[in-house]
Each structure stands twice: as C-alpha cells, then as structure tokens.
Chain A
Amino acid sequence: MSSNGHYDFPPELYYDRTTHVWVRQDGDRVTLGLDALGLESLGDMAYISLQAVGFPARRGEAIGSLEAAKMVGDLIAPVSGVLAARNEAVLRDPSIVNRDPYGAGWLAQIAPSAWAAESADLVHGPSLSTWVESEIERYRSQGWID
C-alpha cells in the first residue's frame, strides 16, 4: 500500500499525474475515479455530470464536469477510447466519491483504444511511492493540504 498519513494510493491502480485521476484495468475496460489527494484538495463534491455511454474519449480531453464547493472543472479522460459505463449512483449522490473514492465512488469506465501506449504515461508500480510522497510534500509546501 502506498500511503502517507491518511492519503491512500492503492498500488494496483494507475494514476494520472496531472489530474489525480486513478485508473484500474478491469478486463477489456478501465475504471476511473479521483484519487485521495485530488479529493482532499477539491473538498466535498456537489455535482457530477458525464458524457453519454458511447462518447469517444480522448486522453487529456473532457468526458464530464464536476462541481465541488464553487469550483467547476472538467473531468479529463486519462486514456483514449469509448465511454463504456457511467456510475449512475454517483451522479445522483456525488458524496459517494468522497466517502469511497476507490470503491463505490468510481466515476466511469472506458474501453481503451491505446492502453499499451497511454498507460506508460500513468504512474504505476515501483515509481508510485516516490510520486505519492513528492506530491504530498508539494501539496503541503503550497498549503493546499494540512
């Protein structure tokens, strides 16, 4: 388990270093959500919207929007492919994301089209703990977290 204090980063997951979106391989799909540090900074989630199933996702581009407190931003696809599933439960109750970010708070699934190439840009494996520690230190030094 890669963790520091109460910020857990399950080691089996992949992480987008820019957006703090986590990705998990589930057969021919990947599941994605927001990681602990991203959520700590955003605070309580108020609203989430996602594109419809079938939407063509491109890595680095929006597949939905979210509102936490009064900050509104796009949910950025960590990999390219086709939006294969949406978690309808979190659309109705976004607080699930804060309560269980790696479980019931998953956001969407994508059927990836270039997993081999794009997953190389995600943080995973031996580099994870170093990245987590540096991110937590960066967030703390900037005063974004306590």
Chain B
Amino acid sequence: MTHWRLITDDNVSASFGLAADDCLAGRVGVGESEPTLRLYTYRSHCALVGRFQNLDNEVHREYCQAHGVALNRRPTGGGAIIMGADQLGVALLVPGRADDSYSRARELMAQFSAGVVNGLRSLGVAASFRRKNDIEVDGRKLVGLGIYRAPGNGLLFHASLLVGLDIPFMLRVLKTPFEKISDKEIATVADRVTTVRREIGRAIEVSEVRARVAEGYAQAFGVSLTPGDFTPDERRAIAALERDKYLTDPWVHQTTAVPDALGSAKLKTPGGLLDVRVTLAGNTLKAVFIGGDFFAAEGAVAELEASLRWHSAAPKTVAETLAHAYAARASDLAALPLDSLTQIIQQAIRRAQAVESAARADPYGCFVNPTGPIEDLSQPQTEATHV
C-alpha cells in the first residue's frame, strides 16, 4: 500500500501557508519530499487572490489593512477567497508524470477532488464535483479547487473548504458592488454559497471535517496516511521561499496584462425581468450573475451561473454550455426562456468587451458571482433595457 504523509497545522500565516505548499510541490516532484496531504487552517483572516489576479481589483485594501487581514497570492489559479479558522485548506502534493506535462489537467481536478467529496459525503453532505473547478451542493459552491504544476513535475492540488463563513465579513474584504451590506445582499450571496455547517445543520468543528477529509483521501486513493510534520530541511526551504517570494511585493502585488471588464443587459420576458451582468478577464468569463424577478427553483440559477464561470466568452460556446446546463434543470427554469437568456448573456458579454478599459473585479471572488455596481445601471454605454 502506498503511504502519504499527513500534515495538519493550524493558525498559519498567509505567507507560510502558501510557501509551504509551493515549496513541497517543487520538492515532491524531484523526490526531495514525500507525497503529502496537508490539511490546515490559516490565521483569521487572510484574503488570497488567484495566481494572475490584480489585487486591487479583488479586495478592499484599506479595510484589510485596518482589520489585520493579510493579503497574498496563491500559486494556483482562480478567484479571490478569504481563509481563516473556519475554512479548511487542503493541499495534496504528489509527483506528476514526466510524459504528460499538461495532458491531465482536466481529469486531475476531478480525481484529486474525490477525497474532499468522499469526506463531505460521509458527513451527509450531498457534495459533487462540478467539471472544471468547484465542489457544490445543489448549485451552491462549497469548495474552490485549483491545480499548480511546479517545475520538476510536482503537482499541487489546492482546495478551500467552507466549514463556516461570515458572509458580511467576506463582503467587506472582497470587492462587491454594494454600497451597503444589507440582508438582501447577504441573501443573494447565501443563495450561491454554502458551508458544511449549513448543510448538516449543526456546529461541527473544523477538526472533525478534517478527519473526514483525510479518511476520504485514504479511501479514494487507496493510500495509508501517516501523521507527520515538515522536516527541518523542508522548514529551511519553506522559510527561504517565504522570504524570497511570498513576503515580497513583486509577488503579492504583481499585475497582469489581461484587463477586467464588466457588462450588463436587461430583457423583459413574459416570465419577468432578466438582469444579467458579466465580468470578463480578457475573453474569459470570470463570472456571470443572472438576476431579475422571474421565478426559478432554488439553486437552478446558481448552477447556470457556475456553468459559465471561467468559461470562454465566445458566443457559440456560451450558447452550447447554457443549453447543456439548462437541459439538466429545465423544469426548474420553466419561467426563464433559454433563448432569451442566451441572447441577453451574449449581449452583456459584447458590452463588456466594448468597455474593456474599465477595470472591474469579480466582486465576490471565487465563491459568488457579481451583481455589478448599482450605479452602472444608469450608464447608457453599458446598460440598455429591451422591452
């Protein structure tokens, strides 16, 4: 039976937490460290942006500084997240294969997420992997996923699992369109994000979730987990990487040439008003928000939105993906005509592409989709109502 080391550590700083994962990914690829499953928590709180995100687009820097929220950048991709004592960090560090540098990107995400899914299901949470990068429960995001292939073919699989979440706090840390944070905005987020505590209806400790996730990995991969710690040599290497990378401005505050852009469009349909807002990173859809006053079953709209997250903005592929996602929940979306929805999303994308110069954030980061700044609704260059 294959053995993996199991490291559990808590209350780590953002720079140490990320440096440790990055360092071990490099070492495990060249055989300097053993395959490791690390299940850990960050010191409350930190905001971590994706590998290529612009920090100022994603977080309220002044609020973070005033409230001691550390800022840093993950080696893995995706959107901004907050991490702290109620969010379990998962880092699986295993050697990759030399003959397929990029080839397994698609199936690795599903394979590596199986341990988390197993652990959640053992708690009675009906979690499932959403192709690409999420673990969800009925359309609500519960876990964000990412993979980084380090030099030397080491693989780092990252997951951020919401055992609990203070939504108002998250909305203050991550950039949102809201001028105020009222029950309505909190409810909008709560319809798209969930937590382990919410799903099982009791106040479970992070340590219990961690134990279940560890068992989930042992079961999914047929491995035995041996509790251990970083070796002295690893700690020296982690400290060096922390000093040279994760505590430096060039890493934390780097920017990308790909511009963010936001577009929106409305359409009056027989079933009600459709209000769609999109955030693009270049020609990639970072996020889509589908709002309005139409009726749809709980979770169905969030599933549609999730199907387009980190998706090509090309009209044909957007239409194909929407049709596929719609078909799975057609009866739940009967009041939301697919043709109208496709048309209005494509229009919002075209508008975002037309106003690319406006640098906009994914307002809710990795976990939720944007509604867009309220004031944008009155701007004729980005907004039009079709009746």
Contact = CB atoms under 8 A, between A and B. Distances in A.
Interface of A: 17-20, 37-38, 41-44, 46-47, 49, 61-62, 65, 67-74, 76, 88, 91-95, 98, 139, 142-144
A72 B98 contact: no
A30 to B, nearest CB: 19
Contact of B77 (A20, A72, A94, A95): A72
Given A44-B284, A47-B52, A72-B77, 11 more contacts: A18-B98, A18-B101, A44-B312, A46-B77, A47-B282, A69-B310, A71-B148, A72-B149, A92-B282, A142-B107, A144-B104
A101 B104 CA distance: 20
Contacts, number: 123
Contact of A69 (B105, B148, B257, B281): B105
A67 B78 CA distance: 9
A47 B50 CA distance: 11
Contacts of B198: none
Contacts of A143: 107
Contact of B310 (A42, A46, A76): A46
Most B C-beta atoms less than 10 A away, residue of A18, A44, A72, A143: A72
Nearest to B53: A47
B77 A71 contact: yes
Contacts of A49: 52, 256
Contact of A67 (B51, B101, B132, B313): B51
Contacts of B146: 70-72
A42 B102 contact: yes
Interface in B122-166: 132-133, 145-151
B106 interface: yes
Nearest to A144: B103
B102 A70 contact: no
A72 B155 CA distance: 10
A41 B258 contact: no
A67 B225 CA distance: 31
Contact of B148 (A18, A20, A68, A73): A73
Interface in B342-365: none
Contacts of A18: 98-99, 101
Nearest to B282: A93
Contacts of A88: 257
A69 B133 contact: yes
A20 B133 contact: no
Given A46-B77, A70-B145, A73-B102, A144 B107 contact: yes
A98 B107 CA distance: 20
A121 to B, nearest CB: 14
Given A62-B151, A71-B77, A88-B257, A93 B105 contact: no
B148 A47 contact: no
Contacts of A62: 151
Contacts of A76: 101
Contact of A74 (B52, B78, B151, B258): B151
A20 B100 CA distance: 9
A61 B151 contact: yes
List the 6 shortest-distance A-B pairs measured between CB atoms, nearest first. Answer: A47-B52, A73-B149, A95-B283, A71-B105, A70-B133, A67-B77
